[in-house]
Amino acid sequence: MIYTLDVRQSGTWYKALQASNSISWGSDKDTLAVDLSFNSLRELSEGTIVRLKTESISAFLGTVIKKTKTKNSYSYECQDFARVLGKNETIIQFNKISGDTAIKQLCSKFGVKVNCIGISTLISKIYKDMTLADIIEDILEQATLEKGIKYIKEMRGDTLYIRVLTDFKIYPEFILARDLAVNNSIEDMKNKILVVSSDEDNNRILATVQDIKNINTYGSFQEVLSIEAKDISKAKNIAENRLAEANKVFKDTTLNTLVTSGGEDIRANRMISLSIKSMGLNGWYSIKSCSNTLENGTMKSSITIEW
């Protein structure tokens, strides 16, 4: 793979890889933005646009948000354009419009492009003093609880993409280090779900679902969900979808790899195919987080997957 690191100054792109080293970037499923850092002999100003590519494919596009000057060089911290969504708060009201329409209306107020699949869940809510990223996450959570579908959001260049998890399959090639450990955890397990009204004057339980077998095995781990009046008819369905999502023994492992192709596609919330039958891995797995490094044209990636 041939990598290029470019910076844009005064409207012109300049090659920066020759004067730079220690390039690293990564992402996490709980954080929309992708971060990148590097050292350079060249001085750049805050807000400078930075682009990392393999061949003609972009691995990162964002801006310098912090720089540190040392005696002989500079170090930079950059973040992609999801920063706009995470750093802007707003007030907005939606009244019975579809989830995808609500997201598009929200982002249009801040000039953010959106490419979103249809989300028919109706949104009726007033959002105050919340970031755009948090509002979008809340909308997607409502849709997931109603439909039992996991929606994924990610920033590509200047456009926010929202798809279902299975649409984010990637096909990188890599050499896997021999050390591998699989962790099992019931820390986040929920095996009993109660759904109640968000109305403070109504404490009635609208729906209860539970897994008696798991409760007898692991103990009772209960979660209470509050829903608005418009969703009362969906209470049982919401409870069942949440139980299906959380009533599990969660597993994860970290793959330390030397990437030979497709490194630009490796990021959190995408799915990767693995066949390591000795560790019980055989299928598609969601990337929980990844940390990538580039030195002397060689890319290494530490990829944590969960299932």
- Report if residue 224 sits inside a domain: yes
Q: Which of 121, 136, 166 is the last residue of a domain?
A: 166
- Report if residue 300 sits inside a domain: no
- Residues 102, 62 share a domain: no
Q: What is the DSSP letter of 177?
A: P
**Domain limits at 151?**
85-166
Mean pLDDT, range 228-249, rounded to an integer: 89
- Residues 134, 110 share a domain: yes
- Report if residue 272 sits inside a domain: no
- Report if residue 278 sits inside a domain: no
- Residues 76, 98 share a domain: no
- Report if residue 182 sits inside a domain: no
Contact in structure between 90 and 106 (CB atoms under 8 Å): yes
- Report if residue 41 sits inside a domain: yes
- Report if residue 251 sits inside a domain: no
Contact in structure between 50 and 63 (CB atoms under 8 Å): yes
List residues bridging with 290 in a β-sheet. Answer: 27, 303
Say whether pLDDT at 42 is over 90: no
Q: Which of 41, 64, 81 is the last residue of a domain?
A: 81
C-alpha span between 193 and 224 (Å, rounded):
6
Our count of domains for the chain comes to 3
Q: What is the pLDDT of residue 133?
A: 95
C-alpha span between 301 and 290 (Å, rounded):
7
Q: Which of 112, 134, 166 is the last residue of a domain?
A: 166
pLDDT in tens, 135-169: 999 999 999 999 989 899 999 988 999 999 888 89
Among 22, 88, 19, 77, which Cα is nearest to 50's?
77
Q: What is the pLDDT of residue 244?
A: 92
List residues bridging with 255 in a β-sheet. Answer: 303
C-alpha span between 219 and 221 (Å, rounded):
7
pTM of the model: 0.82
* Residues in contact with 291: Cβ distance below 8 Å, sequence separation at least 6, in sequence order: 24, 26, 301, 302
- Residues 124, 110 share a domain: yes
**38-55: b (≥16 Cβ within 10 Å) or e:** bbbeeebeeebbbbbbbe
Q: What is the pLDDT of residue 203?
A: 74
- Residues 91, 77 share a domain: no
- Residues 208, 141 share a domain: no
C-alpha span between 293 and 58 (Å, rounded):
15
- Report if residue 305 sits inside a domain: no
Mean pLDDT, range 10-34, rounded to an integer: 87
